[in-house]
Structure 1
């Protein structure tokens, strides 16, 4: 049954109440036509609950806008949803990526994440290319997808909204990787399901690193909003040391917008449930509104928390990752780099859920705290214990 407006409706009931499902929910294709966003293809999803989100087909099928009953969930940075044709991947010494950094979700990869790195290129057997110059967070986030389909699908009395696309990152004498992304959400619900597959279509042994930069914004993020996670250990903090408490912002509770503020990044070691899932949430108790991300520990063994509380850049990032914050150099040195031969693939199954009431927040918190009790202090001493990554799916 489809749950709409407090009632359980059959497919026949839905059809009886409107000439088309789009009156209540659906997926609509459109193209942005002004400013730096001009020409970007976009899909708009509406589930009938008040949840609306958009998928940027021309930016790796990433999720841009997201709001619930008029309340913003996803982050809009000053850079906007810039057309990929304007992107300069190697600009500003590798930091040009920041000029295209916006939205609820930005995909990082496919062969590199984190800060700039000159990767050895001997695996590509091409003498003139001694290194691969990697900018921050990789190339994939500004590559247009080939849209293979979208729409509504009925499964008995349930209706699924969906979209699928393929994003190819490739060069001559280099990597030939493809991301196949499928996004689904059931009408009458607030659960977005993301299914990704990264496959090596080439015949060179190719490195693979992957991360989601999931950016939650005001009003879910506000002074006093709480970060909930099954933290077994605080492994690392970018700002640890003599100035650990300088900005008076710990890992647990959000501050109001600050000026100035320097970003803070933490890596936490998370516990998983019996199904291997790791839930993390940001909640605003005053509004009874939250956002929960659930990943798989065998797919994303690492998790970062990004605090960007600078005025006009105000966001908190939930960042599941295939690798430690040590970056590509650390992954190579520790033997933790993923290497894909021809036809090898990696899968990633993730769920985003809007928490719409105090009861749903309490249930999420109970689930999370039941896996591990996160540190009670705001500034736990980082252990520096980067656990070896084993048992990848």
Structure 2
């Protein structure tokens, strides 16, 4: 953001952008705390403080980037952790966090019963700090930090400390998460970032960008999209067969560049609009591409994770289940950037 264009012309930084907290007062989300973040360059998004600081609505100029479910934002329901209860309050949005001990379908074994995608997205954050930008003082960065606790007596007791940050004049969202085991015993740990993209970014012909060795979800033999000979890297028209619960997914061993960074995302050539999602292979080695082209439920998901969403039991059987020792922590860094410059879009596509 060129300082010369606004120097001596503003007195309140909110005229350029920043963070505004609020409480929804109508509809299913009534009473839910949120924060609107405006980057001042077209990108603005809603952080749902009462839902693990996940991100709901996200826009670049007039274009929505995220898919929103019929419900949209709802208050947290901490006991929606049995069977498929998670779906009942799934608002979609740009980001829904899954975990922290289980990602995947409902299951039960000798280690307990676990509902779809875990508890963390139904847990409110305790906000620690909000730092507003101060462009008059040359400080363009803004950030919000909170703690989300997934805990119970006798464990597990995990703490997610999340910071969402950006800079005025940059169409970028940065997420830094730290997960700490506050228990006195080891705790299983699985984490998946459920990014949900929708129209108009996602449309017929939109490029779906990722690299890596892939397999259809858990080797499904009848996967109609992720199969050799089918172009699953382009957005589809709405599909009758995806009405109701129809969907397909692929598990991808994400390819990294020389610095260890993985990049995926979407590009709509009709809008000259791309979204790049970047994460570290050492932190999040897996990527899931979820495609659900239902009429009125038109979604593409790109989901970095510690594991594919196969569930705790299968990860344990494959010897791929992470355990955090008491006091042990893991850090996760992700970045979402909106691209409109032709040269930068070409770099993004050529490095896919």
TM-score, structure 1 as length reference? 0.83
CA contact (8 A) 1:52 1:67 kept: yes
User: Where do 1:86-105 residues align within 5 Å?
Assistant: 88-90=79-81, 94-101=83-90, 102-105=92-95
CA contact (8 A) 2:182 2:326 kept: yes
C-alpha distance 220-324 of structure 1, shift in aligned 2 (>3 A)? same
CA contact (8 A) 2:283 2:306 kept: yes
Q: 2:193 aligns with which of 212, 215, 220?
A: 212
CA distance in 1, matches of 2:225, 2:187: 41
1:74-122 CA distance string (max 9 Å, x none) = 111112111114x65145xx1111122121100001111111122534x
CA distance in 2, matches of 1:45, 1:90: 30
Q: 1:19 aligns with which of 5, 11, 26?
A: 11
Match of 1:387 in 2: none
C-alpha distance 258-235 of structure 1, shift in aligned 2 (>3 A)? closer
CA distance in 1, matches of 2:230, 2:54: 30
CA distance in 2, matches of 1:55, 1:306: 23
CA contact (8 A) 1:306 1:316 kept: yes
User: Where do 1:148-159 residues align within 5 Å?
Assistant: 148-153=128-133, 157-159=138-140
CA distance in 2, matches of 1:120, 1:143: 25
C-alpha distance 62-160 of structure 1, shift in aligned 2 (>3 A)? same
User: Where do 1:318-337 residues align within 5 Å?
Assistant: 318-337=302-321
CA distance in 1, matches of 2:148, 2:312: 22
Superposition RMSD in Å: 2.1
User: Where do 1:300-315 residues align within 5 Å?
Assistant: 300-315=284-299
Structure 2 residues not aligned, in runs of 5+: none
Answer yes or no: is 1:224 the counterpart of 2:218.
no
C-alpha distance 175-88 of structure 1, shift in aligned 2 (>3 A)? closer
C-alpha distance 355-328 of structure 1, shift in aligned 2 (>3 A)? same
CA contact (8 A) 1:258 1:309 kept: yes
Deviation at 1:246, TM superposition (A): 10
Q: 1:344 aligns with which of 308, 328, 338?
A: 328
Deviation at 1:264, TM superposition (A): 0.7
CA distance in 2, matches of 1:84, 1:250: 38
Q: 1:289 aligns with which of 260, 273, 280?
A: 273
TM-score, structure 2 as length reference? 0.93
Answer yes or no: is 1:175 the counterpart of 2:153.
no
C-alpha distance 249-216 of structure 1, shift in aligned 2 (>3 A)? farther
Structure 1 residues not aligned, in runs of 5+: 122-130, 369-393
Deviation at 1:259, TM superposition (A): 2.6
Q: Secondary structure at the match of 2:240?
A: coil
1:181-202 CA distance string (max 9 Å, x none) = 0011110001111000000111
Deviation at 1:151, TM superposition (A): 2.9
Answer yes or no: is 1:120 the counterpart of 2:110.
yes
Match of 1:372 in 2: none
Q: 2:3 aligns with which of 4, 9, 12?
A: 9
CA contact (8 A) 2:103 2:309 kept: no
The range that moved more, 239-248 or 162-171, is 239-248
Match of 1:362 in 2: 346
Q: 1:135 aligns with which of 115, 125, 135?
A: 115
Match of 1:74 in 2: 66
Match of 1:187 in 2: 168
Q: Secondary structure at the match of 2:294?
A: coil
1:222-251 CA distance string (max 9 Å, x none) = 0000111122x2223468424636999742
Match of 2:240 in 1: 259
Number of residue pairs matched?
A: 346
